[in-house]
């Protein structure tokens, strides 16, 4: 049989196989795939709406928290702040929040203050118009933890309301809980329109129909959910999910309408696929041409495509398939050898980079531990001196002499006075030693936390949290060495308490510790007997800027431009060079930055630390 006949036979078989596979593919794979895509799109629309409703609850809880976690509210709920409501609970404020309901309950679940607002007319209505009893609200009033949030829906006389409650505690999140604050919004047309705009989904809320389950037409269930899908017509489908209240009782039905565009697209695709069979004759001609060029054109094309795939995948572990012993196979083999050399070189670079990274990490950890150990050693030495001063035999001898029966009254009075003075002095030294030991204990825990942090850093991403700037500065300042020889104090500006930032608490503590210790050592290097470290804060271009200033040795102009470079240190003994470099990298990883200012040697320095505002 000639080659042409063989090609003709192969092409005829190919046509039959193509027709059969195409039909099977369309009926068993493609159509169900489009249907699954449509089901997934409908489920995604419902999930998007539910997420938007959850976001409404989250905003209500956040707004309630702004009032509930506040010292003034804490005083008000106990009846000790008569001007609180007039100053803070205004109609305008709640209208701006788009909050319709605000209810303040004391710890005995009694309504202390409430406001019901018609947002459309911006007028206040009687709270009794809600028609919600305390027993219906009881799930919102059962807070046992200061951080708890309870949210849910209820049916009121004016319609369905979405509510969120927070326990009323002090600003620093201390208890005990003295009451509950509830904020709410009506699930009215305005809120539904905002949900529809935010999700870009055709949605509606309808009343529950008693015969709904019996009246469905061509309905089925979406796998993995409790959504009931009802086909209205050939153009659209509707998905329903029951909205339940805080007690678990159904109150509304969420309806999401999804156009059946995906199914129509699949049907059109199938029609086009069948139409493509008519082009088979043209494909046969192309196939013959490809067979004639099989020995040269096709292998080169395959190799080109494979090289392109390797390029875009950025995976040099892949290789070209080498078959035969012709020139094309030699080209593929040579390319594979180049990939082998490139892979070897890349592994060597990765190994060197890994070793360098481990060395830098170790240096940084040791530097942080050394900074933590400096106040620990000072405080331990101070505690040791205080304890040694306590030990003495004079008091024992005086006590033994007082225990004797034959003792002159004047002598007895002097010994008693001596013991009183000695014991008071001993108590003072004991208190000093205990305070120093408390700081030592805190520093040991910090060293332990540094080691734990480093152990987990390769596995856990940095956890960002909201941090009070004042509290973290106070915590970092507590480790300032207590040096009797040098009087160095730290001054904190009152505005620190007004700022909250986003960052990782442990990393931030290490950064502040580094900067404060550097300021302390800078004052010591200036040979001054006294010094001041000033800490202030301000808002700078949406970032919170924390400024730490000292009146120490300052920074020379030539050093200021590279003070944050790795290995650069302004200390005379050449120690360090890692702390500020690590601080800059750590702040950058949290979305912040650091700057240094100094008028020159002996003029002190100011470090500006920038953090994202919370």
Residue 251: which of 241, 260, 242 has the closest Cα?
242
In angstroms, the CA 395 to CA 393 distance is 6
**What pTM was computed for the model?**
0.43
Q: Does residue 214 have a pLDDT over 50?
A: no
Q: Does residue 12 have a pLDDT over 90?
A: no
**Cβ atoms 253, 226 nearer than 8 A:** no
What's the pLDDT tens digit per position in 141-155? 999 999 999 999 999
Q: Does residue 178 have a pLDDT over 60?
A: yes
What's the pLDDT tens digit per position in 204-213? 998 877 654 4
- pLDDT tier, 277 (very low <50, low <70, confident <90, very high otherwise): low
In angstroms, the CA 24 to CA 18 distance is 10
For the chain, count helices (H), then strands (E).
17, 18
> Helix, strand, or coil here: 573?
coil
> Helix, strand, or coil here: 145?
coil
User: In this predicted structure, what is the pLDDT of residue 448?
Assistant: 75
> Helix, strand, or coil here: 160?
strand
User: In this predicted structure, what is the pLDDT of residue 484?
Assistant: 52
User: In this predicted structure, what is the pLDDT of residue 101?
Assistant: 96
Residue 547's Cβ-count burial label (10 Å; 0-12, 13-18, 19+) is middle
In angstroms, the CA 551 to CA 566 distance is 25
Share above pLDDT 70 across residues of the chain, in percent, rounded to a whole number:
81
Q: Which helix (H) or strand (E) holds 401?
A: helix 394-403
Mean pLDDT, residues 17-24 taken together: 76
Q: What are phi and psi of 83, to 5 degrees?
A: -95, 5
Task: Give domain 54-184's CATH architecture.
Answer: 2-Layer Sandwich (3.30)
- pLDDT tier, 222 (very low <50, low <70, confident <90, very high otherwise): very low
**Cβ atoms 188, 101 nearer than 8 A:** no
What's the pLDDT tens digit per position in 434-489? 888 888 888 788 877 777 777 565 444 567 888 889 988 998 888 777 765 668 88
Mean pLDDT, residues 315-323 taken together: 68
Task: Give domain 465-612's CATH architecture.
Answer: 2-Layer Sandwich (3.30)
Q: Which whole-number Å values give the CA distances from 313 to 59, 319, 350, 474, in the listed order?
A: 42, 12, 19, 50
Write the DSSP string, 354-391. HHHHHHHHHHHHHHHHHHHHHHHHHHHHHHHHHHHHH-
In angstroms, the CA 585 to CA 452 distance is 19
What's the pLDDT tens digit per position in 500-510? 999 888 889 88
Gyration radius of the chain's alpha carbons: 38
Residue 198: which of 49, 37, 421 has the closest Cα?
49
Mean pLDDT, residues 393-408 taken together: 74
């Amino acid at each position: 049989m000639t080659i042409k006949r063989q090609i003709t036979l192969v092409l005829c078989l190919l046509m039959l196989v193509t027709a059969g596979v195409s039909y099977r593919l369309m009926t068993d794979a493609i159509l169900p795939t489009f249907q699954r895509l449509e089901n997934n799109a409908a489920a995604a629309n419902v999930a998007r709406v539910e997420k938007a409703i959850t976001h409404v609850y989250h905003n209500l809880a956040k707004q309630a928290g702004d009032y509930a976690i506040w010292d003034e509210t804490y005083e008000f709920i106990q009846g000790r702040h008569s001007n609180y409501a007039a100053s803070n609970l205004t109609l305008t404020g709640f209208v701006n929040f788009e909050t319709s309901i605000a209810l303040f309950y004391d710890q005995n679940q009694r309504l202390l203050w409430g406001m019901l607002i018609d947002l459309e007319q911006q007028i206040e209505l009687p709270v009794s118009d809600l028609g919600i009893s305390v027993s219906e609200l009881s799930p919102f009033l059962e807070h046992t933890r200061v951080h708890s949030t309870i949210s849910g829906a209820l049916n009121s006389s004016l319609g369905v309301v979405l509510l969120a409650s927070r326990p009323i505690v002090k600003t620093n999140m201390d208890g005990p809980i003295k009451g509950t604050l509830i904020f709410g919004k009506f699930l009215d047309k305005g809120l539904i329109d905002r949900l529809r705009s935010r999700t870009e989904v055709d949605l509606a809320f309808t009343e529950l129909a008693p015969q709904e389950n019996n009246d469905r037409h061509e309905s089925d269930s979406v796998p993995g959910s409790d959504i009931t899908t009802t086909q209205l017509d050939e153009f659209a489908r509707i998905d329903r999910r029951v909205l339940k209240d805080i007690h678990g009782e159904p109150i509304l039905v969420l309806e999401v309408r999804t156009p059946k565009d995906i199914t129509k697209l699949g049907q059109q695709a199938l029609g086009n696929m069948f139409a493509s069979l008519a082009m088979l004759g043209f494909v046969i001609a192309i196939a013959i041409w490809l067979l004639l060029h099989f020995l040269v054109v096709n292998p080169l094309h395959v190799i080109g495509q494979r090289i392109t795939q390797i390029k875009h995948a950025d995976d040099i572990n892949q290789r070209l398939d080498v078959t035969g012993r012709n020139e094309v196979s030699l080209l593929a083999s040579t390319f594979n050898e180049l990939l082998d050399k490139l892979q070897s070189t890349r592994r060597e670079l990765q190994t060197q980079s890994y070793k360098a990274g481990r060395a830098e990490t170790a240096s940084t950890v040791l530097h942080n531990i050394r900074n933590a150990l400096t106040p620990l050693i000072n405080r331990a030495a101070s505690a040791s001196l205080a304890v040694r001063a306590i030990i003495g035999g004079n008091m024992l001898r005086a006590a033994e002499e007082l225990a004797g029966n034959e003792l002159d009254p004047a002598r007895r009075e002097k010994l008693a006075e001596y013991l009183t003075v000695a014991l008071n002095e001993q108590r003072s030294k004991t208190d000093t030693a205990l305070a120093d030991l408390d700081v030592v204990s805190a520093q040991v825990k910090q060293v332990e936390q540094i080691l734990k942090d480093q152990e987990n850093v390769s596995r856990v991403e940095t956890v960002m949290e909201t941090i009070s700037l004042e509290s973290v500065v106070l915590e970092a300042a507590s480790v300032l060495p207590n040096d009797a020889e040098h009087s160095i104090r730290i001054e904190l500006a009152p505005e620190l308490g007004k700022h909250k930032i986003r960052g990782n608490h442990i990393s931030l503590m290490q950064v502040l510790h580094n900067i404060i210790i550097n300021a302390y050592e800078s004052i010591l290097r200036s040979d001054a007997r006294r010094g001041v470290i000033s800490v202030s804060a301000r808002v700078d271009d949406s970032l919170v800027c924390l400024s730490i200033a000292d009146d120490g040795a300052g920074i020379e102009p030539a050093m200021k431009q590279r003070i944050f470079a790795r290995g650069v240190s302004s200390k005379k003994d050449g120690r360090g060079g890692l702390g500020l470099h690590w601080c800059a990298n750590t702040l950058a990883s949290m979305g912040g930055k650091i700057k240094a200012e100094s008028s020159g040697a002996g003029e002190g320095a100011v470090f500006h630390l920038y953090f994202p505002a919370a």
